[in-house]
Amino acid sequence: MLLPFILLSSSYAGIKLSNSYTDNLYYIGEIERGGNQTTVSPFFSYSGFLDFDYTGNASMIDFDGEDIFIGNQFEIQKKFNLPGLGNRNYLYVNGYNFFPINYRNYGLSEISGGDSLSLYIGNLLLGLGIEVGYVDFISDSVKDYIKPEIETRVSVPMPYFYFVPGFTAGFMVYEDARLPYYDFSLGLDFPLTGDFTIALSGNYFQLSLNGSDLPLSDSLLLDPFFENEGIAKNVALGLSVRKTFVKQKAYLSLYLNLFEKGFFKVDNIQRDDSGFFVSLQFTKIVNNNTSFFVGFSSLVNNSTIENLSYTKNNVSGGIQLIF
């Protein structure tokens, strides 16, 4: 009975080893300190009746056993092919956990599940989705929450590019509060040639307290690790470029993001950040099992809170092995 399942399945596993140097480990202006971060990332992928993907991450700062961070991420997906070429439906479950060995209050776990539909209507590709997620923080200073949301998008073919507007709306549901949010997005995809693509994107995110208390303690709004939990508004513009060198079996990726973030007001202090993030990575494929990569990234953050204005530059390199 299991023979068809085995014959139609495939899998691979591997490991990525990397090291990076940054001039700002803590994302804070007044205590900028450089250091190395060494990372080991095993991964596994299986395709069959169900598709399963796993990525682990164990990193250490400056080879110090006191600064070890462990993360695990997985996705389980079931794909259904619907009538009509390219029409599909996906049921999925995603999970993630972050566990610092000696900084327990920074640990968290997330799990989410949903249904995503891709359907062609004429020459339009319509996407519809519904998802429910749960985020659990180890720290008692941050409230756990459930996050149900719906998403819709449509890909419209235009001369020389695809026009992709989208909309997401939902709630962050705490014990005693429901915070509504919405996110408008817009993408322009330019598949210029088979080896060269450009994509432009933009989004506007808004979250409302709706008369409720802050979901985390005031002091943590100034902690870079928890800052995403205090964002009330986010406006972003992105550029992604990929060039493939077919004969050399290599590719170059460029990503640029401009952002402006507004945070919930605390004690009449308003934090607003703006800046940009840029990254460049070159990858060389040696054979079907081995590839090398080197990269550079830079983050510039300007904030109305002086200590949170900083720059962070990062140089990295590594190897990926597939077994």
pLDDT (0 to 100) of residue 50: 94
Helix %, strand %, coil % of the chain (to 5)? 5, 70, 25
What are 90's two structure tokens? Answer: 């996906």
**Residue 291 and residue 320 in contact, taking contact as beta carbons nearer than 8 Å:** yes
Longest dimension (CA), the chain: 67
pLDDT (0 to 100) of residue 52: 97
What are 93's two structure tokens? Answer: 């479950």
Q: How many domains are contained in the chain?
A: 1
Pairwise CA distance, residues 230 & 263, whole Å: 6
DSSP 24: -
Question: For the segment 245-300, what is each residue's pLDDT rounded down to a tens digit?
Answer: 999 999 999 999 999 999 988 777 889 999 999 999 999 999 999 999 999 999 99
Give the pairing type, strands 250-263 and 10-22: unpaired
DSSP 216: B
Quick one: pLDDT band at residue 141, thresholds 50, 70, 90? confident
**Residue 315 and residue 296 in contact, taking contact as beta carbons nearer than 8 Å:** yes
Expressed as residue numbers, the domain containing 44 is 3-322
Q: Check pLDDT > 80 for residue 235.
A: yes
Pairwise CA distance, residues 272 & 260, whole Å: 7
Task: List, as one string, the DSSP characters of 33-78.
Answer: --EEEEEEEEEEEEESSSEEEEEEEEEEETT-TTSEEEEEEEEEEE
Give the sign of the dihedral formed by CA 210, CA 211, CA 217, CA 222: positive
Nearest in space to 246 (alpha carbons), one of 292, 284, 190? 284
- pTM across the whole model: 0.90
Question: For the segment 33-65, what is each residue's pLDDT rounded down to a tens digit?
Answer: 899 999 999 999 999 999 999 999 999 999 988
- Helix (H) / strand (E) element for 6: namely helix 3-7
Residue 138 sits in a domain whose CATH number is 2.40.160.100
Give the pairing type, strands 178-193 and 161-173: antiparallel
Quick one: pLDDT band at residue 214, thresholds 50, 70, 90? confident
